[in-house]
Structure 1
């Protein structure tokens, strides 16, 4: 009989409408409210977002800074940096281009401040530009140097017979060409069940694996949990597994040579998405010269298991 374990950090309280704990991208499904912000949190945010979002924020900040100083130059009067055109919009554009040359310290020479006020403001803007680009350079370094796991999981988890018993299986591989050294998998089942007082609570179980660790992973690894007497899912019929309000939490740990350190990645599958009697198709084969060809598009591709039986 399966033995419940202590809360791994998710929380015991649950709800009938509770969503999954871990999203498909590995992030925890939590909404934060009344959270205090700080520069350090902003740094963590800016090195974690996508490249499109990152450069979007950089472009927005660049436009806002130049627009702010361009408005100041326009209000003071751009006669100290260029000949006024008589059009407010054109004068603003000239002030904007002068601001862009100042904040980037380019200085083409076509426009230059001739008054004390303009000189003080443009000098202050140049200082802001130097600090801003130093900050962006630090962010770029942080984004490239931040250790990030490159594990790719199959989109689905399957249930099929293996060695005489039903087994739950999923597959993983490395997104890059780097070989994962000593990858190790931990699987935890979280079942949300109604208690006697009609409240929903989370029960947690360790899922024993056929193999929870291998030496290295150059291709794919199919992780297998046998649903035998020691499995907490053994008391349910295979047809009822997808009706359970549960989630399988996965933690993968491995050594990455690129960062020379141990990396971790979390993932999860919800039981309602289990596929019965499906088997993963081989994701690699050998070419005429004997080289192993790994097809990344086949990581989650399956076929009907019983059709080949």
Structure 2
């Protein structure tokens, strides 16, 4: 009987996709453990801890007389002696009294060293991994930029310290027709007016100038096919000295035509203010002349 192909959920710019035929997650245990949520990680560590101690506790129970003052055949006593040994606590109430008991305890201590080092490393790695610290506008707009038609989206930093050396990329899912009648999809990069920011502490509007014959405009007007716009940013957190990543996906219904963003930055009494509550707010352009006509 053929085993069904494994389905894997992946995240692309904030929306889920399904990958069929992916290898088992156990083929890359480190990535699998790093990817799981904190509750599942704590449950896995707890279950591993209990399982290791149950195995050694059962071994001690099967060796009468190996552990002094331990009730013969008691898995419970063996379990708690194993906990003391694995954690190198050694309360002194129970102790190995035979060479076989000492040998098993030595193996368990070695197992405990590996277990503690592995869990400590995983916990540190989970805390130290890059975190998303960017907030993207819920919508993108087609409006005006220096008198030209432009596609714009906005991003802001959520943290109190700025991001350094920020790089941005805007792409769209383009449907390409080849000569033999076949079609395929590809993410095509859209050049930005500015794709690098030396220091992002407040907000940044990403701008792509649209030509009159831009394929992005044609794709927006043709609702028979799927439209997807993606943003991706990366920078260095100046407090943690670690990389910060972020991404956002926009569908056709989240690209507003003939709109512009409201200002989120203001100066009051010599102090600059950023109002993140306005990051997603837009207003229609009065007497709009940028309406896209259906092809």
- What TM-score results when the alignment is normalised by the length of structure 2? 0.74
Among residues 92, 97, 104, which one is paired with 2:75 in the alignment?
Answer: 92
Aligned to 1:159: 141
Does the 8 A contact of 1:194 with 1:200 survive in 2? yes
Write the deviation string for residues 232-281 of structure 1: whole angstroms up to 9, x where unpaired: 22335x5x3665323323332434434657x4736242433424255545
Task: Tell me by how many angstroms 1:105 deviates.
Answer: 0.4
Q: Does the 8 Å contact 1:286/1:293 carry over to 2?
A: yes
Q: Give the secondary structure class of the aligned counterpart of 1:129.
A: helix
For residue 125 of structure 1, the aligned residue among 87, 108, 111 is 108
Uncovered stretches (5+) of structure 1, i.e. residues with no partner: 1-19
Contact 1:243 1:271 in 2 (8 A): no
Sort the Cα spacing of 1:249 and 1:160 in 2 relative to 1 into closer, same or farther, 3 A: closer
Q: Indicate the residue corresponding to 1:65 in structure 2.
A: 52
| Matches of 1:154 and 1:214, distance apart in 2 | 16
C-alpha deviation, 1:84, in angstroms: 3.2
CA contact (8 A) 2:58 2:78 kept: yes
Q: How far is 1:134 from its partner?
A: 1.7
C-alpha deviations, 1:70-124, integer Å up to 9, x for none?
Answer: 2222333488344539xx8xx3332221111110101122222333322221221
- Of the three residues 248, 251, 261, the one matched with 2:232 is 251
Partners of 1:109 and 1:32 in 2: CA distance: 54
Whose strand fraction is larger, Structure 1's or Structure 2's? 2
Among candidates 185, 195, 202, match of residue 212 of structure 1? 195
Q: In the alignment, is the contact (CA less than 8 A) between 2:14 and 2:248 conserved in 1?
A: no
Distance 1:173 1:60, change over 3 A: farther
CA apart distance, 1:175:
3.1
SS of the equivalent of 2:215 reads: coil
- Paired residue total: 278
Q: Provide, for residues 272-308 of structure 1, a one-character-per-residue CA deviation record: whole Å limited to 9, x for no partner.
A: 3424255545445556x64444455554x32443589
SS at match of 1:215: strand
- Per the TM alignment, residue 129 of structure 1 is displaced from its structure 2 partner at its CA by 0.3
Aligned counterpart, 2:206: 223
Question: RMSD over aligned Cα, in angstroms?
Answer: 3.8
| Displacement after TM superposition at 1:219 (Å) | 0.6
TM-score computed with the length of structure 1 as normaliser:
0.71
Judge conservation of contact 1:174–1:219 (CA < 8 Å) in 2: yes
1:305 aligned to which of 277, 284, 288:
284
- Residues 241, 291 of structure 1: CA spacing in aligned structure 2 closer, same or farther, 3 A cutoff? farther
Within a 5 Å distance, the mapping from 1:134-153 to structure 2 comes to 134-146=117-129, 148=130, 150-153=132-135
* 47, 54, 58: which one aligns with 2:41: 54
Partner of 1:8: none
Could you say which structure has the greater relative contact order, defined with CA pairs below 8 angstroms and 6 or more residues apart? 1
Report the Cα distance in structure 1 between the residues aligned to 2:287 and 2:270, rounded to whole angstroms: 27
